[in-house]
Structure 1
């Protein structure tokens, strides 16, 4: 970058503008310390109650945060934004939301839990805590509740006033993705290959629909034969599209490193899962995580903070929604 001294007046003003914009876009772990100190307690207690009722909900809430951050929408004259609560918006007459996009339709869940969280927070602090920040905090609390690591959540995101059906279809990596496609998809969001492999470890919890892994269990050769036979019993060649299988059959309700152990034994449920350990550049990282759960936990915590920093709306951009399903 040119020095300040070498810039003429218009260039210097642009320099100051972008410097100020960059500074204002920074998030803070203490953002609600004064405006809504009860937010963390309220969100944690609501998340824990939902997971106590149904342990799968932890994976669902974590996935909402991921799918929210990975879809970039354009708001007014701003550049594209991520981690902005757009995933929560219902369709309107002016835009089609992201809920019915291919990666999300009949798959994403937990919206009712987010509604409850938002209502509980609003009862304590009216129109202060954004839906985007609720997703970020709920993701952390879900992982902790299922035995995984904690991390410091950066806050101060604001909510988008629109959503992008098309971007949801193109930006979220498909379960059929090869390794190069996965690396590219994460790189486009500013995330490293290390981030990608560690964030994929979120598949140590949750379940997948038969339609997302049918081709793998019937057609691929890099799969444990006993594992494929078991999965075929639950996922027939025809019908049963919505039948569910755990992404980590070993310990589906606990956030641990068994996902990576499965990959070493060719027991990855999705094609995209097994790609992480298939003779490519990420094999060594999978082996490391399989042998060292602390390393996985540390890298996952760092990666999800990086993901949460994808182009957030801050300052006066966007809004603080009162109802996460619709704009104010």
Structure 2
């Protein structure tokens, strides 16, 4: 039986989530139809463009993504605090980037004067919009419905484009977040579609590397902001260069189809999160095989279990092996 989103998303435990959507008609929807030879590769660009646009509208940061031929992987970070801080004008402006809103919200946007009762009604509506703008389900719904409509229009057909609901995994600690981001960024290499991260099309790692070459970070992705310190800016508390080097090294191990070895004493990220190369390589190649609803240390999984009223959480045994410090 499918689980409710309430049992999968708990902002008390973490703002980070790994979301996966799969096409119902498989690879030819976004790749190449081997029967007709027709290419639908351009649809991967649709998904990437729409996702990055939604990241600029919602109070949800995009940490990593990979648009594959028949599925998408996205790592998201919900920023409820930012959404709560937005004034009504900001909330309505953002909502109108996606939907028409109501007659009252349209009047307000035009600068028309509202009565007290109309303003009270609009304030209630604004609070509903505010909650939706930091709701992962609303972001994924907007992304998937938009792509489905465009694909069906191109195919001149109707019907479902995506399998049921998207899959969501809560990422409960830094190790889980970084391992999942690398797992997502390395999807094309594991699938043998590409040989290097910088050549991996429609992925966040290619986006980050292209910006890094210019000495920048992509504004459309959640930034890496270095080690923890006072007055810490919003972002991922690691070095972007260290992350890119770790992903590149991991990709080499995967590409060469060898167990490989990454010296965690010489890699600042692995040293800090306390994982050895064997643990890291298993996580970045088999992440979805070992965990279901949530990923993190055994202690964090127990807390998530209590807060979401689960009777049991799959992956406890693997958490002891893969996410305990080496």
Q: TM-score, normalised by structure 2?
A: 0.31
Q: TM-score, normalised by structure 1?
A: 0.31
- Between structures 1 and 2, the one with greater strand share: 2
Larger relative contact order (Cα-Cα within 8 Å, sequence gap ≥ 6)? 1
